[in-house]
C-alpha cells in the first residue's frame, strides 16, 4: 500500500532581493493519490506544478500544510520516493550500470544482488549492451531511460517524474511514454508525472490533475477511463479527442492568464 496524501499544502518563496515581495508558487492544495495510481499533473509553465513535485520529493519544505506517504510525514528527501528530473542528472563519472546501482550501493547491497537488479532494469528500459557506456555517450532519450531505471531499481513507494521527456524530440517522447506506461502496467507503482503536454497527460494517466496559472492551485481533476494495456492508437480515438479538446480549453485559459 502506498498512499500519498497532500493536505493544505502551499509554498511561498521569499523575495530574491531585500524588500522584494515573496512569491506565492502554490496556493493551499489538497490531493490524494491512491495505491498504484498514475496521475499526471498538467499545467502551463511556471504554474507551480514542479514545486509540488519537489515538495513531495522532500527537496522543498511546504510553507503550510503537510504531505504524508503511507501516513508518515515527509521530511526531506529519501529513497522511498524516486525522482526523474527534467534535466539530465546521471552521474557523468559513472557508467550506465553504476548509475543504476547508485542507490543500491548506498543501501549496502551485495554486488551480486546489485548486478541482478540492474540487469533486470537495463533489460526493461532496452539498454542491453550499453552497460559500460558513460552518460555523455548516450542520447537524451537513452539518458532518461537510465534515469528511470535508476529510480526504479531503488524500489521506491512512489515514482515522481518532472517533465522527464520535455527536452526530447517528439518521436522519442512518444516512445518513452509507451515505455513508461508499459513498465507501470507490469510493475504497478504509484506514479506522479508532471507535464505541460496534453497528449502525454491523457495517454498515461488514470487521472489528470489540471493546475491553474501561478499561483498554482488545482483547477480540475479528470478521470481517464481507457483500459490497460493502452496502445498508442487510442490517441486517435474519438474519446481521446474529446478529452483532449476539453483539457485544451482548460489549459488555454490558464496559459493566457500566465502570459499576462
Residues that bind other proteins (CB under 8 A): 57-59, 76-79, 81-83, 85, 87, 89, 91-93, 102-103, 106-107, 134, 136-137, 150-151, 154
Q: How far apart are CA 218 and CA 109, in angstroms?
A: 40
Comparing CB distances to other proteins, the nearer of 81 and 173 is 81
Residue of 216, 109, 88, 212 lying closest to 153 (CA atoms): 109
Neighbours of 23 (CB within 10 A): 14
Q: What is the nearest approach in angstroms of other proteins to the Cβ of residue 238?
A: 40
Sign of CA dihedral 251, 166, 7, 33: positive
Q: How far apart are CA 228 and CA 213, in angstroms?
A: 31
Sign of CA dihedral 66, 71, 72, 77: negative
Following CA atoms 249, 254, 255, 260 in sequence, which dihedral angle do they give, to the nearest 10 degrees? 140
Edge-first strand listing for the sheet containing 4-13: 23-33, 4-13, 64-69, 72-73
Comparing CB distances to other proteins, the nearer of 11 and 230 is 11
Comparing CB distances to other proteins, the nearer of 109 and 255 is 109
Q: How far apart are CA 219 and CA 236, in angstroms?
A: 26
Comparing CB distances to other proteins, the nearer of 100 and 127 is 100
Q: What is the nearest approach in angstroms of other proteins to the Cβ of residue 245?
A: 36
Residue of 147, 203, 194 lying closest to 174 (CA atoms): 203
Q: What is the nearest approach in angstroms of other proteins to the Cβ of residue 134?
A: 5
Q: What is the nearest approach in angstroms of other proteins to the Cβ of residue 115?
A: 18
Q: What is the nearest approach in angstroms of other proteins to the Cβ of residue 81?
A: 6
Q: What is the nearest approach in angstroms of other proteins to the Cβ of residue 79?
A: 3
Comparing CB distances to other proteins, the nearer of 134 and 226 is 134
Residue of 142, 139, 76, 132 lying closest to 101 (CA atoms): 132
Comparing CB distances to other proteins, the nearer of 26 and 151 is 151
**Rg (Cα) of the chain, in Å, rounded?**
18
Q: What is the nearest approach in angstroms of other proteins to the Cβ of residue 159?
A: 11
Comparing CB distances to other proteins, the nearer of 49 and 54 is 54
Amino acid at each position: 500500500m502506498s498512499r500519498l496524501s497532500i493536505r493544505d499544502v502551499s509554498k511561498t518563496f521569499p523575495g530574491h532581493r531585500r524588500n522584494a515581495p515573496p512569491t506565492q508558487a502554490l496556493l493551499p492544495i489538497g490531493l490524494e493519490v491512491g495505491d498504484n495510481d498514475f496521475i499526471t499533473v498538467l499545467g502551463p509553465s511556471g504554474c507551480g506544478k514542479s514545486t509540488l513535485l519537489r515538495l513531495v520529493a522532500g527537496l522543498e519544505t511546504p510553507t503550510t500544510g503537510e504531505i504524508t506517504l503511507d501516513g508518515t510525514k515527509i521530511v526531506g528527501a529519501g529513497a522511498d520516493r524516486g525522482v526523474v528530473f527534467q534535466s539530465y542528472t546521471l552521474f557523468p563519472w559513472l557508467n550506465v550500470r553504476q548509475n543504476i546501482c547508485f542507490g543500491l550501493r548506498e543501501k549496502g547491497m551485495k554486488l551480486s544482488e546489485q548486478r541482478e537488479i540492474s540487469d533486470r532494469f537495463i533489460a526493461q528500459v532496452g539498454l542491453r549492451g550499453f552497460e559500460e557506456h558513460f552518460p555523455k555517450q548516450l542520447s537524451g532519450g537513452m539518458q532518461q531511460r537510465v534515469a528511470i531505471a535508476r529510480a526504479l531499481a531503488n524500489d521506491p513507494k512512489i515514482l515522481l517524474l518532472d517533465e522527464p521527456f520535455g527536452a526530447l524530440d517528439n518521436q522519442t517522447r512518444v516512445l518513452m511514454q509507451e515505455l513508461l506506461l508499459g513498465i507501470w502496467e507490469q510493475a504497478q507503482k504509484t506514479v506522479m508525472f508532471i507535464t505541460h503536454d496534453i497528449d502525454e497527460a491523457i495517454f498515461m494517466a488514470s487521472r489528470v490533475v489540471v493546475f491553474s496559472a501561478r499561483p498554482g492551485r488545482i483547477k480540475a481533476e479528470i478521470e481517464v477511463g481507457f483500459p490497460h494495456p493502452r496502445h498508442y492508437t487510442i490517441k486517435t480515438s474519438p474519446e481521446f479527442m474529446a478529452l483532449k479538446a476539453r483539457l485544451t480549453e482548460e489549459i488555454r485559459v490558464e496559459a493566457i492568464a500566465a502570459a499576462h
